[in-house]
Structure 1
Amino acid sequence: MKRTLAVTGATCALALAVTACGGGGSDSASSANQELKGQTVTVAGVWTGTEQANFKKVLAAFSAATGARTEFVSTGDNVSTVIDSKVQGGDAPDVVMVPQVGVLQQFAAKNYLVPLSATAQASVTSNYSAAWKNYGSVGGKLYGLYYKASDKSTVWYSPTALDTAGVTAPKTFKDLLGAAKTVSDSGTPAFAVAGQDGWPLTDWFENVYLSQAGPDNYDKLAQHKIPWTDPTVVKALTTLGTVFGDDTLLAGGRKGALQTDLATSVQKVFGDKPAAGMTYEGDFVSGIVSGDLHKTVGTDAKFFPFPSVDGGPAPVVSGGDAAVVLKAGKNQKAGMKLVEYLASPEAATIWAKLGGFLSPNKGVAATSYPDDTTRAMGKSLVDAGDAVRFDMSDQAPAAFGGTQGTGEWKILQDFLRDPSNPKATAATLESAAAKAYQG
């Protein structure tokens, strides 16, 4: 593969043994094996199922190249609460894969984090757009390495369901509603909505809001520079309510949606007994399709970009998981070596080949992705450069945007349950946001 990473002795030592490095790759790998042999790196993250299994293959490659032993600890969705508890209890992992900018900032404010090494920073400068460096930085210091990213502006659909209904991929939200009604009228509910998890509902809102209200308002709302009672928020909720408020469009109606997690929402569309024609979420849906359901992305499952709303540009919302090193970890040195490895194109390529993964690393060749669909999304993510808009809820304090059963997740679940009063929902969102940002 083409490498744009400036190769240094440290970087070479952390590359896979099969990767050629100037001056002798095998000697460097052997040296690294001696350096980390017998050491253990503990990594915590939200990933479960196929995602966790694929990341463990990356960790296995790191172990093979360095001699270090790795352990993965699943945190569940409440990363902030779990890591707080582990730090206070003296059982902190060495590395955390943080899925929210707000949580990264919170950890930095609590003095939990070690700034990334010069080697990791050089890799970020060489291989990442400035936007990703900015999202990983607090107070001018780089703490987070964005290993995994996502395109959260994708609507996945069953070609069979849309063909049966005689509809094509819509370009506007109005056309999406029309297509959804036609699909539902054909006998299959249009959408499987993952309401049980909470966070997919924030992604629905963000795509509508970014397109309808524009990027400037998006940035202001993400930073709480305008209140959630702003008319632009009420308008976006009203628009979203046209989907959430129509039980005929939802598999199982609103009640069923609130009992459906992400994996189940994908299964309802692409499983052996389809119960819906479409599901909305990010590119990582492809990993569930290919890994859990053993279906073919690009044939059995296709996507179209989240459509434009009220004449605005089509939204491009992204997210990602940043590797950070904890001061309270028992092995900072080996933890930092892992982050340096994750910054390399080699480490990203391992998961890229497995599917269900996108990397913001420019050094990852498009041919690393397993299908044309994912290649197109990977190219789009890198080409977006500094125009990437990070998931809004992930930028918020965890108490508002990143905790199950409270804040935005819970309020939008309540909105899905009853979307009849967008103004009241906006007021509730503002009350929760003001408390979280003030805290």
Structure 2
Amino acid sequence: MTTGPMKTGSMTTGSMTVAYLVNTAPVTSSTFIRREMAALEAQGVTVRRFALRRWHQPLVDPGDVADQARTHYILSGNLRGLALAALRQAVIGPAAFARGAWLAARLGRSAGGAVRHAAYFLEAVYFLRALRREGIAHTHVHFSSNAAAVALIARTMGGPSYSFTAHGPDEFLTAAEDGLALKLSGAAFAVAISDFCRGQLLRFGGAQHRDRIAVARCGLDLEDFVPSERPAGESRTLICVGRLCPQKGQVYLPAAVAALRATEAPFRLVLIGDGESRPAIEAEIARHGVGDLIELRGWRSSAEVRTAIAESRALVLPSFAEGLPIVLLEALALERPVVTTTVAGIPELVDDRCGRIVPPGDAAALTGALRDILRADDATLAAMGRVGRARVARHHDLTTLATTLRGLFAAAIAREGKAEVRMKRAVMGREAAEMES
């Protein structure tokens, strides 16, 4: 689960309270964060949920609805609270207030967003007060974007240590402008979800931080993903799950379906998800005349997604940009082959033993891969499924991920405690020297 120089050791941790901070939560496409927090709680870690803003789309999963009620929102509907927190900090801690404001201005200059980073500063001041009030020892952030900036500013003002998990791909597109190097240098550690992601952190954050970057791959609880007794070969349904957006490339699927229609036995494609690419996908469906073969279902709950994948022949995800899609893990865990692309961390998970992997944007290769899956016999599909599930079990176990993170959090908190002890001893030493003189 964890690779690279960073080690967690065999530390036994007691009770600890950590904050999880994200930009927007809960979001239908980020169920993996909810699962991660629940796995940590199962190991005795108290997790306080924070988000900068509320997601205003309807939530379809009961778990997301429950998590929303447990989340403390910093920005949404809280302008008065932000202003009062800033005023209080300026009065009782003017030096810390000045340090935070200076850092926010520095980040704003590098990212070309002074107004945006002024907002991050106010959010950080409010967040800092909440951290102190709840006795939180460490903050963990998902994605190295604006929430990481808030955690960094809070840290600069005297808040607890922080860390972040980097996923990609979007956060690496503006890494230099968004101050990734500063965020990494201020963090107790960083987590990369793949070897590819670790390379991007080193590229943009600096190789000097390599010993503080751990590879901890996103995980699943395999008990929640029990393979169907129905062989994949009995189904003629291909399924695609994910936000409908340019990065995931669903707009190119109607052409592939049209190309296969004439030569393959009847089949259909189901798309679960929604997003800005929906009108373009609908236009392509109409242009290629495959409305009878493609169904757009919109967002569905986690349970409904699992059922749909289990009832499918294979999952297809023709992405142009990714981190490492969780839905690929889910499909493989359910012993269903996947057809996807050679993007970012995907080749670390998928090869031709558990599906088909093609260059992004290669229409002929995508069509050929889908043809292979549609023509494969039961034994071939079953063998792919077994390989895929074994690979997820070996590298993407949720309990192992939680254990790794718990150890990293505990180590960061312990280092913080030792630093405080050293600082107090230094102060006492100076005071004693002054008394003697």
Q: Shorter-chain TM-score category?
A: 0.3 to 0.5
TM-score under structure 1 normalisation?
0.34
Q: Determine which structure has greater relative contact order: mean sequence separation of CA pairs < 8 Å that are 6+ residues apart, divided by chain length.
A: 1
Higher radius of gyration, 1 or 2: 2
- For normalisation by structure 2, the TM-score amounts to 0.34
